[in-house]
Structure 1
Amino acid sequence: MAQSLNSPNSLYDFVVKEGNGVKGVAELGLLEVPERYIQPPEERIKKEDSRICDAPPIDLSKLNGAEHEKVMDEIVRAAETLGFFQVVNHGVPLELLESLKDAAHTFFNLPPEKKVVYRAEVSPSLVTKLGTSFMPEREKVWEWKDYISMVYRSDEDALRCWPNHCREVVLEYLKLSSKMVRVIIEILISKLGVSLDDSKVESLIGMQTVNMNYYPPCPNPELTVGVGRHSDPGTITVLLQDGIGGLYIKMEQHNDTGKGEWLEIPPIPGALVINVGDSLQILSNGKYNSAEHRTRTTSTKTRVSVPIFIVPLPTERIGPLPEVVKNDGLARYKEVIMQDYMTNFFGNAHEGKKSLDFAKINYA
């Protein structure tokens, strides 16, 4: 088997079709990763070329006290610069966060035949999808990651269609984080000098998807990536890291082009990571930064993470808010239908912030 994995077809069958995923590759005990996972030198993550982000987490409980303006300014400043920040006292109990990590390990430790039923091509539901890498059909090089993706439509739908090994804890996580999500989005919109009615805010929170990501130990972590360079397409993302770490962001104020320094976002017990998505960068006419990010692999431990992707409704038209354009004097992005933006995003391999080109206006 190890010899045949360097054949593209046999590797695809083993990893994707049979549901073994990259976890199955890792369990073969290979001394070297298959060629399909070896990144070109410029895409490899060198820890020595980055530094630890030392920004303290933002305490959301202070939004209810005398320091609420200060906390709001901290959120806005982080969204304008890094596009990432960590929050504590966010309303999700530590015990639930630990249960989420345990549930991710439980699901991915199931036999392949129990997981393969959730593959997109055979899944009984459109709201549950087992995947590996990002787009293995389109990528030249694969990412060292497996995931299960769960789209929320209703409680009944989730309890019927999500895997029974994790559905209840994921649903509770989604519900307990929803107030925090709304508060953060409302703060960021209001600080643009814009007032949106409740229905518009709801449309920006419209579609919520929870992923459980699984990164098994890798024999050549220096040659691979867990997730390649990209920005998220939605409004914001809420991410639970485990204690192992490996998340990197690109430090640039507006990093559509050019080089920038990579910062590692260290895991903080009990904290959640928030990052700005492309939709919010477009709405803010570029004031907020959907930071480019990626993850590395390790040779010794299995890492899990649990993001919630907050994405506008598919039918929503996303463009720079008129009040912001009036202040700026020009629109940097055109209006796009969210479904079209998502189709473009998932139709291409990860390539930094190139997905934003779909909405960008290039003035001659």
Structure 2
Amino acid sequence: MVVLASTALEQITLPVAPKPSTYFSGTPVINLAQPGLETLLVRACEEFGFFKVTNHGIPVELMARLEAEVVKFFSLPQAEKDRAGPANPFGYGNKTIGSNGDIGWVEYLLLDVTSKPMSHTSLAFLEEPSASTLRSALNDYVSAMRKLVREILELMAEGLGIQPRDILSKLVADEESDSMLRLNHYPPCPHLQGPDCSLTGFGEHTDPQIISVLRSNNTSGLQISLRDGSWVTVPPDQDSFFINVGDSLQVLTNGRFRSVKHRVLANALKSRVSMIYFGGPTSGEKLAPLPLLMGEGEQSLYREFTWWEYKSSAYRTRLADNRLGQFKR
């Protein structure tokens, strides 16, 4: 469990506890076994930048195995967890999110999964014999995520009517594509009074990458912001995946797809564990609206920039900052 000092706790914004009526019943559901799902998928990206994927073909046992290993890691004594990081910015961390003052009721492992699964990571603890079962579960999960991300991006391309089919998926399929896996643990918060009290676990933000794939245990906490600025709580579903459109995909579609703003709340009684795979392009990949998606006379909303430029800029900002603002025309 992460224990925050009172001085740190005082710096965390305590949001209003979500009422049952805030649960979002309109989450778009994309059944990957359903014919003609491409149109539904594109509509979800345009309206929400967010959707749930079912019938994805990834065994529940695989997801449960990694979750069990993650819980085992976060249950270690604090001194042992501290040995796993941080490693600029990868590795283990708690409370502090980034280097610009954001904090939350969370501890995490952030892993670089570029190129061959886990074999190149700078985190020495994963190479230790004691971490063999965690390493195996991570390798299997990352391989499944890579396949799922490519499939979803190819369905997006089909729905948008652009060719070739891998025009989007190839951006995350390159051996040097910049992808990450984040394992978050939001412990119960004993300082809170009552089961409905909440505080910020991970502050509001959008994801910089092209696409994010989230899976959590059966504890609620994820919230997304709708177009009118209201926040709604997404009911958990540990057998499905939740997909976020990232900033880079918003740029590639010239704003047609929406990069969804989201946050996570922690509560007094239940522990939340989430696993998020972020699919990003290679460092030198140039990002700009795809000409195939530009209508006649349509102007680009963004100037061209590389993923490295955007990633570097994003890491210098606070979570809630408008990261794309400086790249707009």
- Aligned partner of 1:225 among 200, 210, 213: 200
Asked if the contact 1:57/1:271 (under 8 Å) is kept, the reply is: no
- C-alpha distance in structure 2 between counterparts of 1:93 and 1:313, whole Å: 29
Residue identity opposite 2:255 in structure 1: G
TM-fit CA distance, 1:38: 3.6
- The superposition leaves residues 153-183 of structure 1 with CA deviations (integer Å, 9 ceiling, x where unpaired) of 3133359856325221121111123222112
RMSD: 2.6
- C-alpha distance in structure 2 between counterparts of 1:183 and 1:240, whole Å: 17
- C-alpha distance in structure 1 between counterparts of 2:39 and 2:182, whole Å: 30
% identical aligned pairs? 28
Residue aligning to 2:39? 73
TM-fit CA distance, 1:133: 3.7
- Aligned partner of 1:111 among 43, 68, 77: 77
State yes or no: 1:143 paired with 2:104: yes
Residue aligning to 2:218? 243
Could you say what secondary structure the match of 1:315 adopts? coil
- The superposition leaves residues 217-242 of structure 1 with CA deviations (integer Å, 9 ceiling, x where unpaired) of 11345563011010000011000111
For structure 1, the 5+ residue unaligned runs are 1-22, 27-32, 253-258
- TM-score normalised by L of structure 1: 0.79
State yes or no: 1:58 paired with 2:30: yes
Residue aligning to 1:47? 18
TM-fit CA distance, 1:36: 2.6
- C-alpha distance in structure 2 between counterparts of 1:180 and 1:192, whole Å: 18
Residue identity opposite 1:149 in structure 2: L
Could you say what secondary structure the match of 1:96 adopts? helix
- The superposition leaves residues 89-148 of structure 1 with CA deviations (integer Å, 9 ceiling, x where unpaired) of 11211111111221111111112222222223xx4xx79511224546421x52111110
Residue aligning to 2:184? 213
- TM-score normalised by L of structure 2: 0.86
Could you say what secondary structure the match of 2:249 adopts? helix
State yes or no: 1:25 paired with 2:8: no
Residue identity opposite 2:29 in structure 1: P
Residue aligning to 1:88? 54
Residue aligning to 1:202? 170
Residues 322 and 49 of structure 1: CA distance in aligned 2, closer, same or farther (over 3 Å): farther
- C-alpha distance in structure 2 between counterparts of 1:343 and 1:50, whole Å: 39
Residues 189 and 149 of structure 1: CA distance in aligned 2, closer, same or farther (over 3 Å): same
- The superposition leaves residues 221-274 of structure 1 with CA deviations (integer Å, 9 ceiling, x where unpaired) of 55630110100000110001110111000011xxxxxx5121211112411111
Residue aligning to 1:10? none
- C-alpha distance in structure 2 between counterparts of 1:293 and 1:214, whole Å: 17
TM-fit CA distance, 1:49: 8.9
- The superposition leaves residues 286-338 of structure 1 with CA deviations (integer Å, 9 ceiling, x where unpaired) of 00011100010111122110000111111111111112234461111111111
Asked if the contact 1:116/1:130 (under 8 Å) is kept, the reply is: yes
Could you say what secondary structure the match of 1:145 adopts? strand
- The superposition leaves residues 33-79 of structure 1 with CA deviations (integer Å, 9 ceiling, x where unpaired) of 623334576x72430396222236321122xxxx2x2x111111111
Summarize the alignment of residues 268-287 of structure 1 with structure 2, pairs less than 5 Å apart: 268-287=237-256
- C-alpha distance in structure 1 between counterparts of 2:313 and 2:33, whole Å: 38
Residues 169 and 159 of structure 1: CA distance in aligned 2, closer, same or farther (over 3 Å): farther
Asked if the contact 2:225/2:261 (under 8 Å) is kept, the reply is: yes
TM-fit CA distance, 1:198: 4.7
- Aligned partner of 1:292 among 261, 264, 271: 261
Aligned length: 314
